[in-house]
A and B are shown apart, each in its own frame.
Chain A
Amino acid sequence: MIGDLLEILLTAGFWAATIRIVSPLILGTLGELICERAGVLNLGIEGIMTMGAMAGWMWVYQGGDLWGGIVFAAFIGALFGMFHAGFTVYLGLSQHVTGIGITLFASSLSYYVFRMLLPTATTPPKITPFQPFAVPVLSDIPVIGEALFTQTPLTYLALLSVPAVWYVLERTPLGLAVRMAGENPVAVESQGIDVLVVRTGAVMVGSAFMAIGGAFITMSAFDAFYFGMINGRGWICVALVIFASWRPGKALLGALLFAGLDALQVRAQQLAGAQIPYQFFLMAPYLLSIAAMVVMARRARYPKALLVPFRRGDRV
């Protein structure tokens, strides 16, 4: 049994599946991470991903092109980010309550719009999704090449956004302002920068990432939109941010760990046949992730001003 599992780990198919599963997770996690580094928890993520999945797909289904669909999904995501920021950043309302509200609203709205535009569809209608693209030369490397370099362009985008987000946060003046807004908003104001604008911008950009993560599922992993598609991935992303201690690189590691366990469990189900109930395998990645969280979260270094609203003219 153990031997069989190890054998799975050596197959290119397993790694390719892991990379596929990781793509939406890493996009969502980076989105959440950007919001939280600026000091705003965004629990709207689950709904924003659903909205992105619907919006991008619908764009293509209505005749738009694939990349146009991604841009549209990002735009819709940013729009919901703007709502979230309006309530939490400008009005200083509870980030938890607003986020859950956005998730409920955005999820329901997605299904509503879907039904409204396609009232008669019974079997989910399909689009032609992003196709795998083999990177010349690199894809010829055994195992790794097949796993990493025969993916869809959206996966490459997701993987490349990890160093990109890291670079912007750590190496540019804008990233410094975002991080400072999450650590001590008064310090940001004291340097002549508008905290509310910085936070709102971060939440909008972060939400756009989440929506693209959602769109990956309907436009790259599958080719249709149906109910319950996001299936808790947004919440996984929220947990991964903590696991990653708010660092993009560690976020990728965490997402890979979860995705790997998920890819492994599907294959382990087949190995075990009917001896072990399949629900056990479905549960395994979550259980192991919780265990990893418990270990990692102890050392997590929170942005100091996470969840703390900033009001102009308040006592400094």
Chain B
Amino acid sequence: MTVKTGDVTPLLSFRGVTKRFGPLTANDAISLDLKAGEVLALLGENGAGKTTLMNILFGHYMADEGAILIDGNPLPRGSTDAAIHAGIGMVHQHFTLAENLTVLENITLGTEPLFSWRRNIRAAREKISSMAVEFGLDADPDKLVGELSVGERQRVEILKALYRDARILILDEPTAVLTPQESDSLFQTLKKLTARGLAVIFISHKLNEILSHTDRVVVLRRGKVAGTVKTSDADRAGLARMMVGEEVKRPTAEAMEPGAPVVRLAAVSCKAGSEAQSLKSVSLEIRAHEIVGLAGVAGNGQRTLASLLSGLAVADSGDVEILGAPGTDDPTALVARGVARIPEDRHATGVVGEMPLWENIISEERRSAEIARAGIVIDKGRALERTRNLIKEFDIRCEGPEAETRLLSGGNMQKLILARVLSRGPRFILANQPVRGLDEGAIAYVQRRLLEARKEGAGILLISEDLDELFALSDRIAVMYHGHLSPARPASELTVGEVGLMMSGQGAEAA
């Protein structure tokens, strides 16, 4: 029996919720409250435990300890059905929609008794369109989800929750996949929702959004609540400090004398497959102790250049020289020469998610004398030891070397890739979008590691869409536009504005 003492019972409260995955404590005795009509930000680095906490609330996971109260009543554990009936709606970080089914089917699943003779499609369509108008969430109910853009899919996810009369809406990193315009319209929708008394849990690690669109901030760090502040009392630096535990500063490059060339491209042309841009007479030199930044809007030939430099494509004409030998279509040979590859899409081409960490760590040198006995039989003991050391050295947060790699958060997966390639002391590093989708702490970490590699003598090609990053790290910058590459010029002689113009094809040297 709780005796009410004037205060309102919170709509939702977590009481000492703990969740462990093997030796890893993803949520450690978390307690927090949520009031009706409030937008609560849940802030934390990748892997801090935000999604896990929400998965417990929504009934995907079962907490090991602690309880969740809705209006003061305990919520049954591990049941999404109970969560939905308690008025909780969740927009997952990775959408849970069936692409081959229609919007209406995705929304109405589970809203009618399973054993009834027909689905009430007309009523559903009416309800969806009236909600769409009311909250500014357009969606064509009869379209297949597979045909929708990411922003549209997110609207469908929100409609799914509202269709079931959610009182608490969880949004797990909703803006990570949206354009700035789409984010704005999302915030408009949120305003309309909170005006009707809905409570929102908004997960993000973008400080600007949190500061301007939420009422209160709970910061998670390594599974624990690191602090709770009213948004009006919070500031960027303070939140960042709470999130990471220390001041995060992105590193800056120190001046360094470049050494001998590691990569030389002379008038290289390369035809790409139908969906990628071909290279047109590209010339580029990358030297030791040097980072060359490659700017450009995605799809202007960066991918083809990356394929060429990692042995996945060969030039049609022109000279390619990588670490003293001609280019090749044998990636293994390039790795043996000392090329390190940090691929653009970690999940698709960086790691094999279903394999354990240790297999991913040794995957590029399965036949090396260190790992394989007589080049044939893998010495698992050694591989495990090596992986354990790297986990420690690169601070990869995981269950251990035998854990499945897909379970890692984005930042930790990137650290795994860094560990794999940097531990070999590479002489050329192809870093394709190395910090995309990472949080501040992880970004600073990756950048620091790249700068260290440069100091030790590696030449680095840094492909990025983020001009601030390029200017902070690069010695020289080149711009790619429609398959043409501008000459690389010292970063100190360029401005962000100039590079931006060249990226849109207007700079003098871009053509």
A residues neighboring B (CB under 8 Å): 171-174, 176-177, 179-180, 183-184, 186-194, 301, 303-304, 312-313, 315-316
A-B contact pairs, 29 of them (CB 8 A): A173-B109, A173-B113, A173-B116, A176-B119, A180-B105, A180-B109, A183-B99, A183-B101, A184-B98, A186-B96, A187-B97, A187-B106, A187-B109, A188-B109, A188-B110, A190-B80, A190-B92, A191-B160, A192-B81, A192-B82, A192-B110, A193-B109, A303-B100, A304-B98, A304-B100, A312-B60, A312-B78, A316-B55, A316-B60
B119 A191 Cβ-Cβ under 8 A: no
B118 A172 Cβ-Cβ under 8 A: yes
Q: Is B378 at the interface (CB under 8 A from chain A)? A: no
| Contact (A172, B62) CB under 8 Å given A184-B98, A187-B106 | no
How far, in whole Å, are A129 and B498 apart by their CA atoms in the complex? 87
Q: Which listed residue (B79, B98, B119) contacts A171, Cβ 8 A?
A: B119
How far, in whole Å, are A174 and B119 apart by their CA atoms in the complex? 9
B101 A192 Cβ-Cβ under 8 A: no
Minimum distance in angstroms from A210 CB to a CB of chain B? 23
Q: Which listed residue (A180, A191, A315) contacts B101, Cβ 8 A?
A: A180
Q: Which listed residue (A189, A192, A312) contacts B85, Cβ 8 A?
A: A192
Q: Is B108 at the interface (CB under 8 A from chain A)? A: yes
> What are the 3 A-B residue pairs with the smallest beta carbon separation, nearest first?
A191-B110, A192-B81, A183-B98
Minimum distance in angstroms from A96 CB to a CB of chain B? 17
| Contact (A316, B112) CB under 8 Å given A190-B80, A193-B81 | no
How far, in whole Å, are A194 and B60 apart by their CA atoms in the complex? 11
| Contact (A187, B60) CB under 8 Å given A177-B110, A180-B105 | no
A176 B62 Cβ-Cβ under 8 A: no
Q: Which listed residue (A183, A191, A194, A313) contacts B62, Cβ 8 A?
A: A313
Q: Is B114 at the interface (CB under 8 A from chain A)? A: yes
How far, in whole Å, are A172 and B116 apart by their CA atoms in the complex? 7
B114 A316 Cβ-Cβ under 8 A: no
Q: Which listed residue (A173, A187, A313) contacts B98, Cβ 8 A?
A: A187
Q: Is B178 at the interface (CB under 8 A from chain A)? A: no
Q: Which residue of B lies closest to A190 (CB)?
A: B96
Q: Is B392 at the interface (CB under 8 A from chain A)? A: no
A177 B97 Cβ-Cβ under 8 A: no
Q: Which residue of B lies closest to A315 (CB)?
A: B407
Minimum distance in angstroms from A205 CB to a CB of chain B? 13
B119 A316 Cβ-Cβ under 8 A: no
Q: Is B84 at the interface (CB under 8 A from chain A)? A: yes
How far, in whole Å, are A19 and B100 apart by their CA atoms in the complex? 33
Minimum distance in angstroms from B412 CB to a CB of chain A? 13
Minimum distance in angstroms from B228 CB to a CB of chain A? 26
* Besides the known contacts A173-B113, A313-B61, 9 further A-B residue pairs in the complex with CB atoms under 8 A apart: A172-B118, A174-B114, A184-B97, A189-B80, A191-B109, A191-B111, A192-B80, A304-B98, A313-B60
Q: Which residue of A lies closest to B58 (CB)?
A: A190
Q: For residue B62, which residues in chain A have a CB less than 8 angstroms away from its CB?
A: 313
Q: For residue A303, which residues in chain B have a CB less than 8 angstroms away from its CB?
A: 100
How far, in whole Å, are A174 and B114 apart by their CA atoms in the complex? 5
B115 A174 Cβ-Cβ under 8 A: yes
| Contact (A187, B116) CB under 8 Å given A180-B105, A193-B109 | no
In chain B, positions 62-103 with a C-beta closer than 8 Å to chain A are 62, 78-85, 90, 92, 94, 96-101
Q: For residue B114, which residues in chain A have a CB less than 8 angstroms away from its CB?
A: 173-174, 177, 193
How far, in whole Å, are A176 and B112 apart by their CA atoms in the complex? 11
Minimum distance in angstroms from A98 CB to a CB of chain B? 19
Q: Is B406 at the interface (CB under 8 A from chain A)? A: yes
Q: Which residue of B lies closest to A175 (CB)?
A: B119
Q: Which residue of A lies closest to B94 (CB)?
A: A316
